[in-house]
Amino acid sequence: MNSLVSKIIDAHGGLERWRQFSLLKARLVQGGALWTLKGHPETLAETTVTVNLLKEWASHSPFGPEAKISTFEPGRVALNDAQGKIIEELRDPRSSFAGHTLETSWSELQLAYFAGIAMWTYLNMPFLLAHEGVVVEELPDWSEKGETWHRLKVTFPTDIATHSTVQTIYFGDDGLLKRHDYDVEIAGNTPGAHYIDGYIDVQGIKIPTSRRIFPRQPDGQPMAEPLVVSIDLHDIKLS
């Protein structure tokens, strides 16, 4: 494993400790301009998210006012009722975003897909860096907020459904993540700068509780507004 990857993973609790768990569950509070832009201002404003740590799978419950439950996997997304009955599903969901721009509205199933890839990626980072097929490349350091952050270019294999194939993570001297850049391919390759803060210790794993995502300019600098997405996590549990 790359020495910088090892440093980052160790700073977050270490791979050995992480691999003792298979699920992460948390209460999720979200805001920002994206949800209204996509036609779902309140659907996932407050919910519970569960992600699998062994395979790519995620769920949000409740999903909207009718208390549906979403299930996401790379090749399928579905909405179930409270009893587990399938209400609707979509196979090969990523292909349904063809031709989308940032302003294109989403169906509920498309929202469930985006929420699935996003939260699964976020909550499995930085341990995803140890996933087979993930390639990392060191980039020049970056100065921001009066600090110097180290950077890694991360290239994901085709078997991982995430925002974009190539992403960039920023981390401090302590190995903790500070920022995470990507282009949202399913929303017209919209560039985002995603800030990570509020670390707490959960059962020996360092997990951030606050995430704020802003537009990213061509020079890599973030725009101060709009706030695209805000994410706050509470009651985090590993099992």
Which tens digits make up the pLDDT trace of 77-101?
999 999 899 999 999 999 999 999 9
Is residue 1 predicted with pLDDT exceeding 80? no
Q: How far apart are CA 181 and CA 139, in angstroms?
A: 13
pLDDT tens-place string over residues 13-51: 999 999 999 999 999 999 999 999 999 999 999 999 999
Q: What are phi and psi of 17, to 5 degrees?
A: -65, -45
Query: Contact at 8 Å (CB) between 50 and 59?
Result: yes
Contact 29, 234 (CB under 8 A): yes
Closest CA to 94 of 181, 167, 165, 180: 165
pTM of the model: 0.97
Q: Per-residue pLDDT tens for 171-209?
A: 999 999 999 999 999 999 999 999 999 999 999 999 999
Tens of pLDDT, residues 128-149? 999 999 999 999 999 999 999 9
- Whether 191 and 216 have beta carbons less than 8 Å apart is answered as yes
Q: In this structure, which amino acid lies at residue 81? A: D
Bridge-based pairing state of the strands 46-52 and 135-144: unpaired
Q: Give the residue among 49, 11, 58 at the shortest CA–CA distance from 178.
A: 11
CB-CB neighbours of 17 under 10 Å = 16
Q: How many residues does the chain have?
A: 239
Gap between the Cα atoms of 83 and 36, Å rounded: 29
Q: Supply the pLDDT for residue 200.
A: 98
Judge contact between 177 and 170, C-beta under 8 A: yes
